[in-house]
Chains A and B, each alone.
Chain A
């Protein structure tokens, strides 16, 4: 469970998030909101990439500045090019495990297990800079999955994908046992979520079941002047 208590984030004079208090307990949680609303900052708070100016964020009771909390929350970035840091696919998937205490063969086995699970063994020794956009996004996600976190936060996972790769990613997400927190503009992706949170101008504007929140968000967006 992730718990935010009175979280405010300020950058210079700009208020990014304003006194947000929430408990995230559902298995599938979506975060929506217009550009610049504070969604990505909210997502980054959940695994300690962003620090609150005031307030606290706890993962299973531990504050996010503790290593024990960080290991529980994996983060998939919007642009996989910035997340993939090694020249070969299998090297990159092993990157997060290099200080895990596992032996080289155990790391190799775990990487192979995850590639097999998602039918991606053919990418094993491919050069990461030669992968297609869809393949990069999948490898970025598997790079997080090999760490076996209990919670995975995804920041705009479908933005750079075509329809085919989007379908592959969505089916992969459906097969995951972990708690998923997905930040996206993709309302179709958000429809099956157990809970949807609508952030606007740094505040929670809506929080509830996906159908109601999407409807409210669509109406509010349509009513805004162009």
Chain B
């Protein structure tokens, strides 16, 4: 859901204030745990489908948003089979899927800059401006650099394969972490270079 990309649009869902969307997301997720049951889950699912339709998000983008989480959902399902029965396992997995899709609806209909700005403003009420800015900047960097880290991982994996190293996790993870950290260093410098009006970012 963090890598879901913004889909431009002018629907009510797109125009809604980012903090209202974040608040609703929080409420829906909480409600799904407090009012545990198939009826609540079905109601939340229907509301979510309606919002996706209003926002005119193409179904293939919705599928793309949930696809990276499928293996986690599969693991949860198998674990629940051992702990309970298949009905409860199905319920738990569907509940997670609804929550992931609800979070995806937020990122698909909200520009990152608007979301970050809203979070910064909200945090600014309870934290010093410097901390609020640092947290919101960290959030926006997460959204930007998850695809970058994934690219680095793919590059390292292909390089190891080309060298016939097979699937050694150590050979994969170590260079990925080293390259990601080196990138992080350079990104920090770039942020400083691009923030001459905000020396507090330093």
Interfacial residues, chain A to chain B (CB-CB below 8 A): 44, 47, 49, 67, 70-71, 74-75, 77, 79, 81-88, 91, 94-96, 98-101, 125, 127-129, 143-144, 147
A88 to B110, CA, bound (A): 12
Other contacts beyond A49-B189, A87-B112, A91-B111: 5, CB < 8 A: A67-B196, A67-B199, A83-B190, A87-B5, A147-B196
Do A99 and B190 have beta carbons less than 8 Å apart? no
B162-196 vs A, CB cutoff 8 Å, 1 = contact: the mask equals: 00000000000000000000010011011111111
Quick one: given A88-B111, A129-B147, A129-B151, are A49 and B191 in contact (CB under 8 Å)? no
Binds A, one of B12-20, B48-56, B66-74, B136-144: B136-144
Quick one: given A96-B194, A129-B147, are A85 and B187 in contact (CB under 8 Å)? yes
Do A88 and B194 have beta carbons less than 8 Å apart? no
A94 to B112, CA, bound (A): 12
Do B144 and A85 have beta carbons less than 8 Å apart? yes
A96 to B140, CA, bound (A): 14
A191 to B132, CA, bound (A): 48
Q: Which residue of A lies closest to B199 (CB)?
A: A67
A84 to B144, CA, bound (A): 9
Do A91 and B113 have beta carbons less than 8 Å apart? yes
Closest-CB distance, A11 to chain B (whole angstroms): 14
Chain A residues, CB < 8 A from B141: 85
Query: At the interface, is chain B mostly helix, strand, loop or mixed?
Result: helix
Do A129 and B197 have beta carbons less than 8 Å apart? no
Do A125 and B194 have beta carbons less than 8 Å apart? no
Chain A residues, CB < 8 A from B5: 87, 127
| Any A CB within 8 A of the CB of B124 | no
Pick from A81, A88, A98 the residue with the most CB of B within 10 Å: A98
Chain B residues, CB < 8 A from A77: 186, 189-190, 193
Quick one: given A81-B183, A86-B140, A125-B8, are A49 and B111 in contact (CB under 8 Å)? no
Chain A residues, CB < 8 A from B112: 86-88, 91
Q: Between A and B, how many residue pairs show CB distances below 8 Å?
A: 76
Quick one: given A67-B199, A87-B5, A87-B144, are A147 and B111 in contact (CB under 8 Å)? no
A127 to B151, CA, bound (A): 15
Do A143 and B194 have beta carbons less than 8 Å apart? yes
| Any A CB within 8 A of the CB of B153 | no
A75 to B186, CA, bound (A): 12
Chain A residues, CB < 8 A from B194: 83, 85, 95-96, 143-144, 147
Do A49 and B196 have beta carbons less than 8 Å apart? no
Q: Which residue of A lies closest to B117 (CB)?
A: A98
Closest-CB distance, A62 to chain B (whole angstroms): 12
* CB-CB contacts below 8 Å: B123-167 with A: 140-141, 143-144, 147-148, 151
* CB-CB contacts below 8 Å: B1-35 with A: 5-6, 8
| Any A CB within 8 A of the CB of B198 | yes
Chain B residues, CB < 8 A from A96: 194-196
Do B196 and A86 have beta carbons less than 8 Å apart? no
Chain B residues, CB < 8 A from A67: 196-197, 199
Do A129 and B186 have beta carbons less than 8 Å apart? no
Chain A residues, CB < 8 A from B183: 81-82
Do B193 and A86 have beta carbons less than 8 Å apart? no
Do B195 and A99 have beta carbons less than 8 Å apart? yes
Chain A residues, CB < 8 A from B192: 49
Residue in B6, B8, B193 whose beta carbon sits within 8 Å of that of A49 in the complex: B193
A147 to B197, CA, bound (A): 10
Closest-CB distance, A135 to chain B (whole angstroms): 15
A94 to B183, CA, bound (A): 22
Chain A residues, CB < 8 A from B189: 44, 49, 77
- For the complex of A and B, 4 pairs with smallest distance between CB atoms: A71-B196, A70-B196, A99-B198, A82-B186
A87 to B140, CA, bound (A): 8
